[in-house]
Structure formats: C-alpha cells, structure tokens
Structure 1
Amino acid sequence: MTSPDRYAAERWFLVRGLPAVVRRGALLRRIWGRSAPALAGVAVFAANSILVVTLSGKHTIDIDGRPTVAEGFLLALIVLVLPVAALVGWLVSRIERPLWRVVAANVSVAVAIIGCVFGGPSPRIMVNLLLVGISIAVIVVATASGVGSIAGWAARDTMSNLALASGMFVRALPVVLLTFLVFFNTYVWLMAAIVTRERLWLAIGFLFAIAAAFLVSSTLERVRPILGETAAAPEDVDRLAGTPFEGIADEPGVDPLSRAERANVVFVVAASQVGQVLTVALATGAIFFVLGLIVLSPPLLASWTRDSGRNDGHILGMTLPVPDPLIQTTMMLTAITFMYLAAKAVTDKEYRAQFLDPLLAELRLTLVARDRYRSSRPGR
C-alpha cells in the first residue's frame, strides 16, 4: 500500500470512528486540519457572542418578564446557535483537501479571536482569550487522541438515523402518553420547584448511568461474535469496491484485535445506540417543554408549586423568561424517557432488525477492511 493509499485508508477508519485501528503515528498527522470542524463550531459561538453583545450591550443574557423585540432576537440566537454550529461543522467536515481544511481552521481561530474582543462571555478580553485557548487545546488533544474521530462519527451516525429515530418515537408513544400523567402531577412540579439544579443533575446522571450500563452490557453480547472472528464473506469484495482496500487479498493469520481495538468497537456500537435513544428522549423532552410554554400561566404555576416556583429560569448562566420548574420538570421527564427507551432498544426485535443488525454488519465489514489494512503493511 503506497503512502497516499495509506492516508486514505487511515482517514477511512477515522471517519468511521475507529481510531484504534490506525497506526499510532497516524493520529498525530494533520491534526490542525482534522480539528477544523470543531474549530468552526467554536467560531460560530464566537460570532454569536458578538451579536449578543451588540444587541444587548451585555456579555451575559438576562431576560425576565415579557421580552422586548431585541430580547426576542436574543432568544432566537440562543435557540439557533447550536444547530448552526453543527451545520457549519458538518460542512467543514466535508472538505476533502487537507490544505483547505487548514485554511478553514485558521479562519475559525481568527473569528474566535475577534469574538474575544467584541463579544465573549466576559467583558475582560484576556478571560475570553483564555477560554478560547482552552477550547482550542481541548479540541486538538481530542483530535490527537482519537476522541474527536469517535465524536464526529457519533454525530454523523445520529443525524443519518433520524428517520429511524422517528419510528422509534412512534413505538414509544405509550410511555409518552403515560408521561403526560407525570407532567400534570402537582407533586412532580413541587419537587422540580424545590430541588436544586445540582441535585437534579446528580439524579439525571444516576439514571443515565444505569441505562447506559444496560445498553453496554447488551452490546457486549451482540458484538462478541464479531470480535472473535472477522472472516471475509464473498459479498465483501463488492462492498469494499471503491474504498482504499479494493483489490487487497484477504489473508489468514492477521494480527488479532488488540484490547484498544476491542474497546473501540464496543464503544462505537454502544455510543451509536445511546445517541439514537438520546435523540428520541430529547425530542420527547422538547415536546413537553413546548407544551409547558403553552399551558403554563403564573396562577397555574403558583398552584402546582405552592408558590415555590420562579417565573424566570436559569440555565448555563443565562436568565430566561421561562419558569425554572418547567426547565427542571422537562429535564426529569427526558431522563425517565431515556431509561425506558434504553430498555426497549435492547428488547425490541424490530429495532434490532432495523438499526442494530445493519450496524453490526457494517462494523464487521470495517473489521474485514482492518485485516486487509494490516496485511498490506510492510513488516506488520
């Protein structure tokens, strides 16, 4: 395998979230260009902060009561910044030429620095520069360690399976309807009004850990046969056509999967399922949040929370014209929905046939490509 082919092969594995498969030095090559999508996301947040400071004249968002027209624009910026950052990062990730990726990374850093001067979370420029510097350092380290490869793959996989997520949401309607009873429960709102945000995050983390452990344990059972043997099938020749591994013979006796590679494979499958379930849970939480905005009024909030709830909400250091109990109730219902869907994903045969089985088949093909990649390396 020539050097250009080796680069294409390594990029093929990185795109599929398997950095443990490539050579140790491959992760250290072209780090800056490979970090461009995440850096572009940082640039979007920096540009958004400039707009926020320009409209509000402040470096923090503090909106209580009925928002004005300008504050309405601020709320729109808050809602749109994450989807826009994801879209820009996705567009940058589609750049093939390494040189243009480096240019995109440099432009992103320049925009982030400008954002430190004219925007940012703090009125102190040095504080903003320090935060941006830390963000860039984290991105570069994640890229060099392979974490960025896995995160990028998980994001693309989640977006590509949105149609399946909608089907999963339809099958989860029974629990959604049951959760309506929880949503209109006075004691739930009273607890949401009294419990602190720190305790709520601990409770949500506890529920998430239980559900994730359940998914991982079931994933091990499904993945173990693939980890034990990845013999090539006749149809793999056609499926690998057009890839860097086309025309490479399948040789027996290739190095077995290392512990790092096994952990990478299990993590990829588990992360794919967690991302799928989390997407549906977040969509469910968004429905309840919008429902709360429609039906909730100050007298109803006072009745449900016994005058313990605040009419303004606090999240990520921002004060928003949304009742804090509504935010906390939505968070709890999202966590409960995630736990239910995690259990259903393991036991639902239709879900396994539509999502998990194709994922495992694609993973087995990737491991066949891994064997070809290893057999083509001189001295292996």
Structure 2
Amino acid sequence: MTTDFRRAEAERWFLRNGLPYVLRPGTLVRRVVSRSAPAQAAFALVMLSSILVVAVTGEHTIDIDGTPTRTEWFVLFIVVLVLPAATLTGWLTNRVESVPRRRLIALASVGIALLGAVFGGPSVLVFVDIVLDVVIIGLILLCTATGVGAILGWAARMTLTNLASIGALMLRALPVMLLTVLVFFNSPVWTMASTIGRGRLWLALLFLFAIAAVFLVSNTMHRVRPILDPDAKRDEDAKTLAGTPFEDLPDRPRRVPLSAAERLNVVYVVALSQLVQVLTVAVATGMIFMVFGLILISPELLDAWTNGGPSDGQVFGMTLPIPDALIQMTMFLTALTFMYLAARAVGDAEYRAQFLDPLLDDLRRTLVARDRYRTYTAGNPRS
C-alpha cells in the first residue's frame, strides 16, 4: 500500500466520521469538486423536480388551496418525495469511490442545476434564479472546503442511522405522546395555533429548543471532557481500530493535546449526535400527530376550534391544503417532545448505557486514530 493511498484512506475515514479539523492543514482544500459531489447531486435533483413542477403547472410557485385537482395531487406527490429522493441521490453518490467519477458527477450536477434555474426555479425571472443557483453551488463548495460539509454529511448519515433505533426511543417518548394528546384536543391551544404568527411561533420554539439543548450539551460535555485528557489513553482502545486504515499505523504512548479547532470539532460532533438522535424522534412524533390531524380534523371541527381559521397553510413558501393551525400545532408538539426526550437523555441511566456510552467508546477509538494519523503524517509529510 503506497503512502499516498494510505493517507487518503485515513483522511476519508475522518471526513466520513465528521472530524475534518483533525486533518493536516491544507487537506480540506484538496479535491473540493469531487468531495462536493453528493451535495451537488442532491441539489441537482431538487432543481429537476422544480423543472417538472413548472412544466406541469406552468407556475414557478406552488399554491394549492381547497380541494386539489389531479395535477395538484401530482405536484404534492413530488413535494413529498423530493427530500427523500435527494437524500438517496446524495447517499448513492457518496458511495462512488473513484475521484474522476465523482468529479464528473459534480460537474454534471452543476449543469443540471443551472438548467433548472433556466426552466424552473422559484422565480419567474431567469436571471434571479441563475444567481440564486450560483450562490447555492458556491456555498456547497465553500462548506466542502471548510469542513462544514463533512460535518453536515455525517449528521445526515447519523439521522438515517437513528431511524433504525427509533422504536426504542419512541417507547421513551410514549408518556409525552399520551400527555400531548390532551394538548392536541385542547380548543384554546388550537385557537393560539391559529392566531399566532409563524415568526413569533418560531421564536418560542427556538427558545424551548435552546433550553433543552443547553442541558443536553452540557451533560454531554461533562462526560466527554475526561476522554480528551492527554493521559486518558487506554491500551484496549487500540483493538477497536481493527479493520480501519489506522490498524497498522504506529502509535504514541501519550496523546498530543488537541488543538482548539480539534477540541471544538470533537465536542460538536458528540453533542450534535445526541441532538440529532433526540430531534429525529421528536420530528417523527410530530409527523404522527400531523397525519392524525389530517385524518381526524373535519372542516366543521377546524372551524369550531380555530374560530374560522384557514383550511390551508404555508410550508417553506408553498401553499398546501393542510390547515395552518395543524402545521403550527405539529411544530409545538414536536418542541414539547424534544424537551421531554432531552430531559430523559440527561437523567436516564438506561438511555446513557444504550446510546451515549457506545458513542463515547467510538470517540475513544477516533482519538486513537487521530494520534496514529498525526504520528504517521509527521513522518510522511506530503510533498
């Protein structure tokens, strides 16, 4: 195995694990185009869906109120599928190992996105859509070059992984789900959801999320801090590197202290994994109430609970045949579930044993890999 190949494998391992700032200076700016391919491909698919919507409806905005027509049902189908399809496209692109192929995919995706700006886009002005596309493409490249994209990509993969364990977490959310049923059938709460502005609601929800996140992150940092100590290395940690690019690399007996960027990166990834895990279940719970409301709420009941509130609502600038009060009620219940699960994550020993302890073990393995990578690259500087 050549030195360059082994180093490239090690660097890809850190990027996949959301730790770009462990890499040697200058590494992140290499192969930016090929590394941005998953995000570029996902964005290209979103723009393809925009072309399809404009071709079907003749409009650059989605405005569906009342009873949808057959064409509008087709547009709703596209809206529902576009995010999962874009995620799948990015995941499939990320599985491509060849750098030239990834570069080709990235360039082709940029071309498709620009075509989407010409024949689709959110505005009737082609110039505005092209400028918006160029800005988004530039942001993707910037995030890739700064390592932010690697962290976001890791967070997306973590979210998909959490879906596999969502059943166990949903059991922990069951008490709050039963409690929020009382909130769901509370007429004054529906009146509030119907009358409060979306901006004010977002401020209130962000306030609740921030309180829960502070408790969750502070508890996580308390448990992570001892692991970051230079003397925290254990002999058994090296065995966990079997099957990784670091298995046969030389080690050092004592860890070189992490830089400020490395420490921030490690703490951020561990805390984000906790937040994403809890948020995944909270959003899934909110979607259950959304579907429940669509099945249960009749026009007469909606009128009685909201004092004549609208039967359609706004989602990301699109008008959809979903009551605005139901959308805002779902957001509120999602925030309540998030706060409850965050509190359980801090105080529940079973939760820590099942979800947090494996994450901390993985952190130990990552830090040993970091030590070996640093030792190896110090002896094999890139020319």
Which interval holds the TM-score relative to the shorter structure?
Answer: over 0.9
Deviation at 1:234, TM superposition (A): 4.3
- Write out per-residue CA displacement over residues 82-115 of structure 1, whole angstroms, 9 at most, x where no aligned residue: 0110110011111111111101101111111111
What residue is the counterpart of 2:77 in the other structure? 76
Q: Secondary structure at the match of 2:264?
A: helix
Take 1:180 and 1:229, find their aligned partners in 2: how far apart are those partners? 49
Q: CA RMSD in A?
A: 1.5
CA distance change for structure 1 residues 85 and 187 in 2, over 3 Å: closer, same or farther? same
| Deviation at residue 229 of structure 1 after TM alignment | 3.7
Q: Using the alignment, how far apart are the partners of 1:229 and 1:165 within structure 2?
A: 35
C-alpha contact 1:214 1:342 (8 A) present in aligned 2: yes
The 8 Å contact of residues 238 and 365 in structure 2, kept in 1 or not, is answered as no
- 2:112 counterpart of 1:111: yes
Is 1:371 matched with 2:371? yes
Query: Whole-Å Cα distance in 1 between the matches of residues 154 and 74 of structure 2?
Result: 33
Preserved contact between residue 40 and residue 92 of structure 1 (Cα < 8 Å)? yes
CA displacement at 1:255 relative to structure 2: 2.2
Q: CA deviation at 1:209?
A: 1.1
Match of 1:200 in 2: 201
2:339 paired with 1:349: no
Counterpart position of 1:6: 7
SS at match of 1:70: helix
- Alignment correspondent of 1:313: 313
Preserved CA contact (<8 Å) 1:254 1:375: no
CA pair 6-230 structure 1, distance change in 2 beyond 3 A: farther
Partners of 2:196 and 2:232 lie apart in 1 by: 54
Q: How far apart, CA to CA, are the structure 1 residues paired with 2:319 and 2:129?
A: 20
Letter in 2 for 1:363: L
Match of 1:101 in 2: 102
How many residues of Structure 1 are paired with residues of Structure 2 in the alignment?
379
- Superposed displacement of residue 377, structure 1: 2.4
Mind listing any 5+ residue stretches in structure 2 that lack a counterpart? none
Q: State the partner residue of 1:225.
A: 226
The aligned residue for residue 301 of structure 2 is 300
Q: Give the 5 Å matches for 1:132-147.
A: 132-147=133-148
After superposition, residues 327-342 of structure 1 pair within 5 angstroms as 327-342=327-342
Q: CA deviation at 1:242?
A: 2.9
Amino acid at match of 2:47: A
Structure 1 gaps, min length 5: none
Is 1:230–1:367's contact at 8 Å kept on the other side of the alignment? no
Q: Is the 8 A contact 1:230 1:364 kept in 2?
A: no
* CA–CA distance in structure 2, aligned partners of residues 10 and 63 of structure 1: 47
Deviation at 1:330, TM superposition (A): 0.7
Report if the CA contact (8 A) 2:34-2:102 is conserved: yes
In the alignment, the residues of structure 1 paired with residue 135 and residue 228 of structure 2 have an alpha-carbon distance, to the nearest angstrom, of 37
Give the Cα separation in 2 of the matches to 1:324 and 1:376: 57
Counterpart code for 1:297? S
- Distance between the aligned counterparts of 1:348 and 1:40, measured in 2? 40
Change beyond 3 A, Cα 1:294–1:254: closer
Counterpart-to-counterpart distance in 1, 2:120 and 2:254: 58
CA distance in 1, matches of 2:126, 2:231: 54
Q: Which amino acid aligns with 2:375?
A: S
Q: Are positions 1:128 and 2:129 aligned together?
A: yes
Distance in 2 (CA, whole Å) between partners of 1:150 and 1:10 is 14
Of the structure 1 ranges 252-261 and 182-191, higher mean CA displacement relative to structure 2 is found in 252-261
Shift of 1:191: 0.4
2:28 is paired with a residue whose SS is helix
- The aligned residue for residue 212 of structure 2 is 211
How many percent identity over aligned positions? 59
SS where residue 319 of structure 2 aligns?
strand
State the AA in 1 paired with 2:203.
L
CA positional deviation for 1:3: 2.2
Q: Distance in 2 between matches of 1:42 and 1:230?
A: 44
Q: CA contact under 8 A between 2:226 and 2:232: conserved in structure 1?
A: no
Does structure 2 retain, via aligned residues, the 8 Å contact 1:17–1:149?
yes
How far apart are 1:332 and its partner, in Å? 0.7
- Which residue of structure 1 aligns with residue 38 of structure 2? 37
Give the counterpart letter for 1:266 in structure 2. V
Aligned-partner SS, 2:378: coil
**Maintained 8 Å contact 1:157/1:272:** yes
TM-score normalized by structure 2?
A: 0.96
Report the AA paired with residue 374 of structure 2: R
Look up the equivalent residue of 2:256 and give its one-letter code: D
Post-superposition Cα deviations, 1:260-292, rounded to whole Å, max 9, x if no partner, equal 111111110110011111110011110111111
